[in-house]
Chains A and B, each alone.
Chain A
């Protein structure tokens, strides 16, 4: 029972990771119509910037919270800049092209970012993750005596908060409405006076920020190297597909479900690769059985 509860906790924090990663994908897809395969790579690159500031450039006499703050700030600023750069240098020029072409472009972005990171930071595994909350903060569940780290709780809370926050932003603010309008039809949105260029820039900036935030929060929980964060994309896509590439709350729910589904088999099967199989089965099940709503655009 205690083991089961422990695995549930692990699964839920893993699910929080997937949800966070998936939220950015859904956000970018909903607002720009680009299915971003490079989402994991973008988060990875920003996280390495934060890591560099935290371990490479911060002064040893600074208090811990200050270096953490500066590192996260640097990572997020870099992420925003990268999102803007991608919009202005790349995606602005392909707005009217087919969704598949845009998706293939993101594969180019993925390859470039991935190799640039492995060029700068090499293919080592870094065992010095960035802890937003001190590692010693552990909360013990009274029923099952399972310790939960403050970092796990942070992930779950941020995932839920972002899902509802971004959802509300897209639904209730005029800028959010403009973003959805541009995604539906850039031409008619611009006829109604929506600043299409500005909306695209903000969408990419926001998506990149979410990617960076997710990746920074994730570092304490995975092998922190250049590929593992990039490859998180497949689990994130599975969660995003559960949400139909549209619904932010359903995406978070999908992330938690996937996290649990990937964790429980590890009670019996010790394998690094097996969870990927679970993700693939979930993707296939969702795509073939349910045919998500976001498909009307994706299937073109």
Chain B
């Protein structure tokens, strides 16, 4: 077990080292995408915990991220705290909201939980994030502007220090991902998976359903909120648009598409969600056979929808899950062949 843990820590470090170098040569737009990719990956990671481990469906993960973003923005713009404090505040508020959202989940499962979380996402999208009754929280129509933020005493803001923000985000993501991978086999992780497989059986075996379901929702919301609370730092301001209902739906769709049970799939999905639309809109125009064409952002969402449908029909375990099982099959087939050769010799 300890050697396995060492292996995983090493894996996380190598992943961090590799990913940290990638955006160095990018222009500002792609550097922003890289930071955004980690933020979205946090949102997808929160679904890995909630749906992949605990089996609870949620269509309001972007709401948690948004609450984290607005809390952090409010803390920095109005109280002028260190950004680290703002992030902690964002995570705490998101955790609290997650526990509250988890309350109805104690009685609900499956589709009905999807309906309720969809309603919550819509209420936050249309009411809390956009209504002037909540201007103290959302900073009015302009949102909170985060010009000069510091973290650990270092200057970090969107215009000049994007890479620093990206590195902090990435380090945190690797840490949380490592924790989640280890959670899978831990006592709490086994209880979570017992709830996923059968709530009744889990309760019979003495799993405290109330505690572990609320914990799962709170932790999941905290993970999404952690990503979201970096949004003001990366983008320079907060607005309702990135955290609206359709982002929540995209989170659910992309998490399932990439493989909702696997932690690395979240990183893959985050990169997909941040880079693909930007690459499409940036390079997707010109002339083809005499006709001018332009690929807009809408094509990305169409692709997500269609890919999700195809994936659910053809590859139920998601892109990452399918790749993983293929690699394992190939490896065991190779092993079998090798074994036979030894026998012959």
Could you tell me which A residues sit within 8 Å of B by CB distance?
Answer: 35, 37, 90, 93-94, 97-101, 103-105, 107-116, 118-119, 231, 233-234, 237-238, 241, 271-274, 276-277, 279-280, 283-284, 287-288, 295, 298-300
Could you tell me which B residues sit within 8 Å of A by CB distance?
Answer: 57, 59, 104, 107-112, 114-116, 118-120, 122-123, 125-128, 130-131, 133, 245-246, 249-250, 252-253, 256, 296, 298-302, 304-309, 312-313, 316
Q: Are A284 and B116 in contact (CB under 8 A)?
A: yes
Q: Are A274 and B309 in contact (CB under 8 A)?
A: no
Q: Are A280 and B120 in contact (CB under 8 A)?
A: yes
Q: Are A35 and B111 in contact (CB under 8 A)?
A: yes
CA separation between A119 and B280, bound complex, in Å?
Answer: 14
For the complex formed, measure the closest distance between the CB of B230 and the CB atoms of chain A, giving whole angstroms: 25
Q: Are A280 and B110 in contact (CB under 8 A)?
A: no
Top 8 closest pairs, chain A to chain B, by CB: A273-B127, A112-B305, A108-B308, A111-B305, A115-B301, A273-B126, A280-B119, A119-B298
Q: Are B302 and A112 in contact (CB under 8 A)?
A: yes
Instruction: List, in ascending order, chain B residues with CB within 8 A of A114's CB.
Output: 246, 301
CA separation between A94 and B120, bound complex, in Å?
Answer: 28
Please pick, from A37, A238, A277, the residue contacting B127 in the complex, using a CB distance under 8 A.
Answer: A277
Given the known interface contacts A104-B312, A280-B123, the answer about A115 and B116 at a Cβ–Cβ threshold of 8 Å is no
Please list 14 pairs of residues, one from A and one from B, whose beta carbons are closer than 8 Å in the complex, sorted by A's number: A94-B313, A107-B308, A108-B307, A111-B253, A112-B309, A115-B300, A118-B298, A271-B127, A271-B133, A276-B127, A279-B119, A280-B123, A283-B119, A288-B104
Instruction: List, in ascending order, chain B residues with CB within 8 A of A98's CB.
Output: 110
Given the known interface contacts A100-B57, A272-B131, A283-B115, the answer about A111 and B246 at a Cβ–Cβ threshold of 8 Å is yes
Q: Are A300 and B110 in contact (CB under 8 A)?
A: yes
Beyond the given A115-B299, A277-B127, please list 10 additional residue pairs across the A-B interface where CB-CB is below 8 A. Answer: A37-B114, A90-B309, A104-B308, A107-B59, A108-B304, A108-B306, A271-B133, A273-B131, A287-B115, A299-B108
Instruction: List, in ascending order, chain B residues with CB within 8 A of A35's CB.
Output: 111, 114-115
For the complex formed, measure the closest distance between the CB of A144 and the CB atoms of chain B, giving whole angstroms: 31
Q: Are B128 and A273 in contact (CB under 8 A)?
A: yes
Q: Are B131 and A108 in contact (CB under 8 A)?
A: no
Given the known interface contacts A112-B305, A271-B131, the answer about A100 and B122 at a Cβ–Cβ threshold of 8 Å is no
Please pick, from A100, A110, A234, A271, the residue contacting B305 in the complex, using a CB distance under 8 A.
Answer: A110
Instruction: List, in ascending order, chain A residues with CB within 8 A of B57's CB.
Output: 100, 104
Q: Are B253 and A299 in contact (CB under 8 A)?
A: no
Given the known interface contacts A115-B298, A272-B130, the answer about A295 and B112 at a Cβ–Cβ threshold of 8 Å is yes
Q: Are B116 and A283 in contact (CB under 8 A)?
A: yes
Q: Are B306 and A112 in contact (CB under 8 A)?
A: yes
Instruction: List, in ascending order, chain A residues with CB within 8 A of B122's CB.
Output: 231, 234, 276, 279-280
Instruction: List, in ascending order, chain A residues with CB within 8 A of B304's CB.
Output: 108, 111-112
For the complex formed, measure the closest distance between the CB of A292 and the CB atoms of chain B, giving whole angstroms: 9
Q: Are B252 and A107 in contact (CB under 8 A)?
A: yes
Q: Are A119 and B299 in contact (CB under 8 A)?
A: yes
Please pick, from B111, B246, B296, the residue contacting A103 in the complex, using a CB distance under 8 A.
Answer: B111
Chain B residue at minimal CB-CB distance from A292? B112
For the complex formed, measure the closest distance between the CB of A236 and the CB atoms of chain B, giving whole angstroms: 11
Instruction: List, in ascending order, chain A residues with CB within 8 A of B119's CB.
Output: 234, 237-238, 276, 279-280, 283-284
For the complex formed, measure the closest distance between the CB of B97 and the CB atoms of chain A, giving whole angstroms: 14
Chain B residue at minimal CB-CB distance from A271? B131
Chain A residue at minimal CB-CB distance from B257? A108
Instruction: List, in ascending order, chain A residues with CB within 8 A of B308's CB.
Output: 104-105, 107-108, 111
Q: Are B110 and A298 in contact (CB under 8 A)?
A: yes
CA separation between A131 and B83, bound complex, in Å?
Answer: 54
Chain B residue at minimal CB-CB distance from A103? B111
Q: Are A115 and B305 in contact (CB under 8 A)?
A: yes
CA separation between A295 and B246, bound complex, in Å?
Answer: 26
Q: Are B118 and A108 in contact (CB under 8 A)?
A: no
Instruction: List, in ascending order, chain B residues with CB within 8 A of A97's CB.
Output: 312
CA separation between A61 and B111, bound complex, in Å?
Answer: 50
CA separation between A108 and B256, bound complex, in Å?
Answer: 11
Q: Are A241 and B115 in contact (CB under 8 A)?
A: yes
Q: Are B309 and A109 in contact (CB under 8 A)?
A: yes
Instruction: List, in ascending order, chain A residues with CB within 8 A of B107's CB.
Output: 287-288
CA separation between A113 and B309, bound complex, in Å?
Answer: 12
Given the known interface contacts A37-B118, A104-B256, A276-B119, the answer about A110 and B249 at a Cβ–Cβ threshold of 8 Å is yes
For the complex formed, measure the closest distance between the CB of A96 and the CB atoms of chain B, giving whole angstroms: 12
Instruction: List, in ascending order, chain B residues with CB within 8 A of A284's CB.
Output: 104, 116, 119
Instruction: List, in ascending order, chain B residues with CB within 8 A of A113's CB.
Output: 305
For the complex formed, measure the closest distance between the CB of B296 and the CB atoms of chain A, giving whole angstroms: 6
For the complex formed, measure the closest distance between the CB of A26 and the CB atoms of chain B, giving whole angstroms: 13
Chain A residue at minimal CB-CB distance from B120? A280
For the complex formed, measure the closest distance between the CB of B184 and the CB atoms of chain A, giving whole angstroms: 21
Chain A residue at minimal CB-CB distance from B311? A108
Chain B residue at minimal CB-CB distance from A112? B305
Instruction: List, in ascending order, chain B residues with CB within 8 A of A107's CB.
Output: 59, 249, 252-253, 305, 308
Instruction: List, in ascending order, chain A residues with CB within 8 A of B246's CB.
Output: 111, 114
Instruction: List, in ascending order, chain B residues with CB within 8 A of A105's CB.
Output: 308-309, 312-313
CA separation between A72 and B131, bound complex, in Å?
Answer: 36
CA separation between A238 and B120, bound complex, in Å?
Answer: 13
Q: Are B302 and A231 in contact (CB under 8 A)?
A: no
